[in-house]
């Protein structure tokens, strides 16, 4: 390996800066998963019977299912009985104000750069903070309520708005959808709930911040976002976890419902602990994200994925209504021993539906990055259009990039385009930048950020800056 | 300013430069001419610190030992290379690239960084110099640029970086006559008593617009002949045959330095 190649490799082997853990008094269930576990979770959350029955149905379905093995991932067997399915920070039962948040939790979020004090916060962003399985606080609730927007933890929504939850839960991702979605449906702990009434443009960005803190626990969040006719919302989720030697399981489900002419923009900056350079530890991230777009509605997924040992994730849009639009913009970085099998599914049902997929995969170290995507045009989808672009950037000689597009077209009026490219960061590019005075690290970061530009441009402003910084940090290391 | 003595460079054991000497004083313009494969580009990149060469000899810029430095430190010391093949960096805004470059060298020199607004003024002035349209700054670095635009972008960068020594590697190749004149005018306006320019070229054409103080002939990795600008005309008329065919051992022991005495 030449000197420069070695240096590029070092850049990709940077350490994980969110690897600290916080000593919180935690209420944790013993390991194991049985029907009793499901009942325990439901009871802990004081859930209505219909939800318990829904969970039990999912658990029954899950028991008959097997893990999917079609992804290009090498995963050590997961022992579902060795995990704990409930962990919650012990805290005062009712929070009247931010001052009631456990100071240690507040410190933890301060350390992550996410202050929960409203006066200190990023203006115009409301945050729901979730530690392990439980939402610890939601900011700016009052401001949002004035606009009629409901933004709260999933558990609160079950108590306060059961009719909305009951109508939409499982309507986009049914309990039997896949192995991990069924598992989530049985044991999901908490998550965020958003409801934007008809004609309302949400006055601020909504954001959920997920943190896994406890050891040997799985994290199973459930997020449900409903935008009624003509409603608009932009939502962002961020994720980190402590550095631990064991693998931790994260299996979330996100459902989006965009009614007629509604618009939902969902952005993710995922930075779970990726494991070390020998592949020890790290989060196993199996996530099902799907949205249903009604007539003239638009759903846009943007994701920046730099963390997790394993990523299995295909944010999708069901383009049900005529003229609905689905978009997917993704940057996925796999360094060290990380493996990512990610992409999108666009299911065209309505006429004149349009979808676009822009995927940027970056592989470094011994990382393996696979784009896997499905574009399906049903018989009813006259004049459907899709444009897919998959670009891969290779930063080392030991990494891999793979592109696996599936295209199924049942209507002859469809237009489907697929473009793919693979490139490397050239020594020429690095040398050119260095001749102009930049350090090798700065040059690398600039070139990689340039590669991701089209995706970063889709992120809300504050988070675009954050995503660029995150990518730079993930590539940072000791040069020379 | 620039003192190069007995510079050698080889790649994988194959020698390219074999004992090159050159002195460039402040304010001078030198031209280095030579046939294909004589080592002209290698000379530029050996000075700039490109990877992959085995280097011998010495090269100092204002007394600083260039050969001991990382490429970025050489840039901070005031060395600028106009690339023969400017590199494309997709997705990186030209303006952002330029400001990052300028601030990198400013930081390395312990100077204050320049803010976005002040930089815009610097960039605009530089753009006028090479007759660039405004949208040029918002495009990705060299991506999708025509050959002429790439070369103009190099001179734009030179105007922003204000180097002590600019080494322009075949900046004239692939240019039409209008672009050539724009680039020459840009370089001429950047001439100053504190700045030196070394022009590497195949043809005498560019030297009609930028008149060099000295012309050197590089053959077989050494400077075999130095003279004033009339030497370029001689080469244009007679080619390099005079220099290529005779035995190099008969070449002057120490090629003439730039500072003719």
Enclosing H/E stretch for A125? strand A125-131
Residue of B nearest to A446 (CA): B92
User: Where residue B251 falls among pLDDT bands split at 50, 70, 90?
Assistant: very low
pLDDT at residue A4, as a whole number: 47
Phi, psi of A210 (to 5 degrees): -100, 135
Which token pair is A431?
A: 């040398």
Contact A431 B140 (CB under 8 A): no
Question: Could you say which DSSP state residue B212 is in?
Answer: -
Q: How confident is the model at residue B253 (pLDDT cuts 50, 70, 90)?
A: very low
Indicate which of B68, B85, B88, B89 best probes the interface with A, i.e. most A CBs within 10 Å of its own CB: B89
Minimal Cβ distance to A436: which of B50, B51, B75:
B75
CA A106 to chain centre: 23
Cα A13 to Cα A140, A308, A396: the distances in Å are 38, 14, 11
Query: What's the Rg (C-alpha) of chain A?
Result: 22
List all residues 6 or more positions away from B96 whose beta carbon is below 8 Å from its beta carbon: A446
Domains in chain B, number = 1
Considering the domain boundaries, does residue B191 fall inside one? yes
- Residue B259: predicted pLDDT: 41
Domain membership of residue B24 (yes or no) is: yes
| Residue the block writes with tokens 């004033």 | B228
- Is B225 within a domain? yes
Residue B181 inside a domain? The answer is yes
B12 Cβ under 8 Å from any chain A Cβ: no
Could you tell me if A193 and A151 are in contact, meaning their C-beta atoms sit under 8 angstroms apart?
yes
CB contact B48 to A (< 8 Å): yes
pLDDT computed for residue A138 by the predictor: 65
Q: With contacts defined as CB-CB under 8 Å, which chain B residues touch A453?
A: 90-92
Name the nearest CA neighbour of B21 among B260, B261, B259, B254.
Answer: B254
CB A418 within 8 A of CB A430: no
CB A196 within 8 A of CB A228: yes
Give the model's pLDDT for residue A240. Answer: 65
Q: Do B101 and A433 touch (CB under 8 A)?
A: yes
Is residue B154 in a domain? no
Query: Tens-digit pLDDT profile for chain A (480 aa)?
Result: 344 445 445 545 556 666 666 666 667 777 888 999 999 999 988 999 999 999 999 999 999 999 988 888 888 888 888 888 877 666 544 444 555 556 666 666 666 555 555 444 444 556 667 665 556 566 677 778 889 999 888 999 999 999 999 999 999 999 999 999 999 999 998 888 999 999 999 988 888 877 666 666 678 889 999 999 999 999 988 766 666 667 778 899 999 999 999 999 999 888 777 788 777 888 889 999 999 999 999 999 999 888 888 899 999 999 999 999 999 999 998 888 889 999 999 999 999 999 999 999 998 888 899 999 999 999 999 999 999 999 999 888 888 999 999 999 999 999 999 999 888 887 899 999 999 999 988 898 899 889 988 888 888 776 777 777 777 766 654 232
Inform me whether the C-beta atom of residue A2 falls under 8 Å from chain B C-beta atoms.
yes
Among candidates A442, A451, A453 on the partner chain, residue whose Cβ is nearest the Cβ of B100: A442
Q: Say if residues A306 and A275 touch (Cβ distance below 8 Å).
A: no
- CA dist A117 and A114 (Å) reads 9
Residue from A430, A440, A433 nearest B157 by CA: A433
3-state secondary structure of B4: strand
The answer to whether the CB of A314 falls within 8 A of the CB of A345 is yes
Q: Are A213 and A250 in contact (CB under 8 A)?
A: no
Q: Distance between CA atoms of B158 and B137, rounded to whole angstroms?
A: 15
Distance, in Å, from the CA atom of A286 to the CA atom of A238, rounded to the nearest integer, reads: 16
Distance (Å) from the alpha carbon of B223 to chain A's nearest alpha carbon: 25
**Buried-state track A450-479, b at ≥16 Cβ within 10 A, e below 16:** bbbbbbbebbbeebbebbbebbbbbbbbee
Name the strand (E) or helix (H) holding A465: helix A461-475
Give the pair of three-digit tokens for residue B233: 């005309």
Q: B128 to chain A, minimum CA–CA distance in Å?
A: 21
Q: Is residue B159 part of a domain?
A: no
Contacts of B86 in chain A (CB under 8 A): 432
Task: Return the residue of A nearest to B141 by Cα.
Answer: A450
Taking an 8 Å cut-off on Cβ atoms, the answer to whether A435 and B105 are in contact is no
| Chain B, window 149-178: residues with a beta carbon less than 8 angstroms from a chain A beta carbon | 157, 161
Q: Is the pLDDT of residue B254 over 50?
A: no
- Contact yes or no for B101 and A438 at CB 8 A: yes
CA distance A454 to chain B (A): 8
- Please spell the DSSP secondary structure of B57-118, one letter per residue: EEEEETTEEGGGS-HHHHHHTTEEEE-SSPPPEEEEEHHHHHHHHHHHHHHHTTPPPPPHHH
| Segments making up each domain of chain A, as ranges | 3-475
CA B188 – CA A387 distance, rounded (Å): 49
- CA-closest candidate to residue A189, choices A313, A307, A27, A305: A27
Q: Tell me the pLDDT band of B258, cut-offs 50, 70 and 90.
A: very low
- d(CA A241, CA B154) in angstroms, rounded, equals 45
- More confident site: B179 or A318: A318
Q: Which residue has the higher pLDDT, A29 or B69?
A: B69
Residue of chain A minimizing CA distance to B100: A438
Report in angstroms the alpha-carbon separations of A163 from A160, A227, B22: 9, 15, 84
**CA pair distance B197, B203, nearest whole angstrom:** 17
CA geometry: angle A140, A291, A403, nearest 5 deg: 115
pTM of the complete model: 0.80
Which pLDDT does position A90 carry in this prediction?
Answer: 60
Dig out the tokens for A56 from the structure. Answer: 């039990």
> Taking the mean position of all CA atoms in its chain, how far away is CA A362?
17
CA distance A231 to A198: 5
B38 vs B48: CA distance, rounded Å: 18
The CA distance from A457 to the nearest CA of chain B, in Å, is 11
Integer-rounded Cα Rg, in Å, for chain B is: 18
The SS3 assignment for A67 reads coil
Q: Spell out the residues 6+ positions from residue A190 whose beta carbon is closer than 8 angstroms to its own.
A: A130, A133, A134, A135, A153, A154, A155, A221, A222
pLDDT at site A48: 96
Contacts of A433 in chain B (CB under 8 A): 89, 97, 101
Residue B1: pLDDT above 50? yes
Chain B, residues 123-152, CB within 8 A of chain A, namely 140-141
Three-state DSSP at A179 gives: helix
**CATH number where B191 lies:** 3.40.50.300
Instruction: Say if B190 falls within a structural domain.
Output: yes
- Closest Cα in chain A, distance from residue B234 (Å): 34
């Amino acid at each position: 390996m030449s000197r420069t190649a070695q240096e590029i490799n070092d850049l990709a082997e940077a350490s994980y800066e969110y690897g600290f853990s916080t000593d919180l008094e935690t209420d944790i269930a013993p390991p194991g998963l049985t029907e009793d576990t499901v009942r325990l979770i439901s009871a802990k959350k004081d859930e209505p019977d219909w939800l318990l029955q829904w969970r039990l149905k999912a658990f029954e379905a899950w028991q008959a299912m097997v893990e999917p093995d079609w992804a290009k991932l090498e995963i050590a067997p997961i022992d579902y009985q060795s995990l704990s399915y409930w962990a919650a920070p012990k805290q005062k039962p009712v929070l009247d104000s931010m001052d009631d948040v456990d100071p240690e939790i507040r410190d933890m979020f301060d350390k992550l750069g996410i202050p929960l004090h409203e006066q200190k916060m990023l203006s115009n962003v409301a945050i729901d903070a979730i530690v392990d399985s439980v939402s610890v606080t939601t900011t700016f609730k009052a401001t949002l309520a004035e606009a009629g927007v409901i933004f709260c933890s999933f558990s609160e929504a079950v108590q306060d708005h059961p009719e909305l939850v009951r109508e939409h839960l499982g309507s986009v991702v049914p309990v039997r959808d896949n192995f991990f979605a069924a598992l989530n449906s049985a044991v999901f702990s908490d998550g965020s709930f958003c409801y934007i009434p008809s004609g309302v443009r949400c006055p601020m960005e909504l954001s959920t911040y997920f943190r896994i803190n406890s050891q040997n626990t799985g994290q199973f969040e459930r997020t449900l976002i409903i935008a009624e006719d003509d409603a608009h919302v932009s939502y962002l989720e961020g994720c980190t976890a402590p550095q631990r030697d064991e693998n931790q399981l994260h299996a979330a489900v996100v459902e989006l419902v965009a009614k007629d002419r509604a618009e939902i923009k969902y952005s993710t900056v995922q930075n779970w602990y990726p494991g070390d350079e020998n592949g020890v530890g790290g989060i196993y991230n199996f996530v099902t994200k799907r949205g249903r777009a009604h007539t003239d509605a638009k759903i846009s997924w943007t994701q920046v994925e730099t963390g997790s040992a394993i990523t299995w994730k295909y944010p999708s849009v069901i383009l049900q209504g005529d003229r609905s639009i689905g978009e997917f913009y993704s940057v996925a970085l796999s360094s060290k021993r990380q493996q990512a099998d990610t992409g999108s599914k666009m299911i065209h049902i309505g006429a004149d539906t349009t979808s676009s997929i822009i995927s940027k995969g970056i592989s470094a170290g011994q990382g393996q990055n696979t784009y896997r995507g499905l574009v399906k045009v049903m018989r009813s989808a006259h004049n459907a259009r899709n444009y897919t672009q998959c670009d891969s950037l290779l930063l080392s000689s030991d990494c891999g990039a793979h592109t696996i597009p599936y295209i199924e077209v049942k209507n002859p009026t469809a237009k489907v385009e697929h473009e793919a490219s693979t490139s490397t960061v050239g020594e020429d590019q690095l040398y050119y930048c260095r001749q102009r005075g930049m350090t090798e690290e700065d040059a690398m970061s600039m070139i990689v950020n340039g590669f991701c530009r089209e995706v970063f441009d889709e992120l809300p402003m504050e988070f675009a800056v954050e995503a660029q910084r995150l990518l730079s940090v993930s590539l940072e290391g000791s040069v020379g | 300013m620039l003192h190069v003595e007995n510079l050698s460079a080889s790649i994988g054991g194959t020698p390219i430069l074999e004992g090159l000497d050159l002195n460039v004083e402040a304010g001078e313009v030198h031209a280095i001419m030579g046939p294909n494969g004589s080592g002209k580009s290698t000379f530029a990149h050996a000075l700039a610190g490109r990877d992959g060469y085995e280097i011998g000899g010495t090269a100092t810029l204002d007394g600083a030992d260039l050969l001991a430095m990382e490429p970025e430190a050489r840039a901070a010391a005031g060395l600028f290379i106009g690339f023969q093949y400017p590199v494309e960096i997709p997705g990186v805004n030209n303006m952002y690239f330029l400001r990052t470059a300028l601030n990198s060298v400013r930081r390395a020199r312990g100077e204050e960084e320049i803010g976005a607004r002040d930089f815009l003024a610097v960039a605009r002035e530089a753009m006028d110099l090479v007759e660039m349209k405004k949208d040029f700054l918002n495009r990705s670095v060299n991506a999708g640029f025509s050959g002429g635009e790439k070369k103009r972008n190099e001179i734009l960068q030179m105007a922003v970086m204000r180097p002590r020594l600019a080494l322009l590697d075949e900046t004239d190749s692939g240019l039409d006559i209008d672009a050539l004149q724009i680039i020459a005018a840009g370089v001429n306006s950047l001439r100053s008593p504190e700045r030196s320019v070394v022009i590497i070229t195949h043809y005498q054409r560019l030297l009609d617009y930028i008149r060099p103080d000295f012309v050197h002939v590089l053959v077989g990795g050494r400077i075999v002949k130095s003279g004033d600008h009339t030497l370029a005309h001689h080469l244009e008329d007679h080619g390099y045959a005079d220099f290529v065919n005779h035995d190099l051992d008969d070449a002057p022991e120490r090629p003439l330095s730039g500072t003719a005495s």
